[in-house]
Chain A
Amino acid sequence: SAVISQKPSRDICQRGTSLTIQCQVDSQVTMMFWYRQQPGQSLTLIATANQGSEATYESGFVIDKFPISRPNLTFSTLTVSNMSPEDSSIYLCSVLGFGGAPNEQFFGPGTRLTVL
Chain B
Amino acid sequence: KQEVTQIPAALSVPEGENLVLNCSFTDSAIYNLQWFRQDPGKGLTSLLLIQSSQREQTSGRLNASLDKSSGRSTLYIAASQPGDSATYLCAVGAFGTASKLTFGTGTRLQVTL
Report which A residues bind B (CB closer than 8 A): 1, 4, 6, 31, 33, 41-45, 48, 58, 90, 92, 94, 96, 101, 103-110, 112
Cβ-based interface call for B44 (8 A): yes
Q: How many A-B residue pairs have CB under 8 A?
A: 56
Closest to A4 in B: B43
B70 sits at the interface (CB 8 A): no
**Which of B10-18, B71-79, B103-111 is the contact stretch?**
B103-111
The 10 closest A-B pairs by CB, nearest first: A107-B44, A109-B43, A42-B103, A110-B43, A43-B103, A104-B49, A107-B43, A42-B105, A96-B99, A31-B99
Instruction: Using A92-B44, A107-B36, A109-B43 as known contacts, say yes or no to A101 and B101 having CB atoms under 8 A apart.
Output: no
B55 at the interface (CB under 8 A from A): no
B64 sits at the interface (CB 8 A): no
Contact partners of B98 in chain A: CB under 8 A: 103
- Asked if B99 and A112 sit within 8 Å, CB to CB, the answer is no
| Chain B residues, Cβ within 8 Å of A104 | 34, 46, 49
* A1–B70 alpha-carbon span in the complex (Å): 31
Which of chain B's residues has its CB closest to A56's CB?
Answer: B100
| Distance A70 CA – B93 CA, assembled complex (angstroms) | 23
Q: A96 to B31: give the CA distance in the assembly, Å.
A: 14
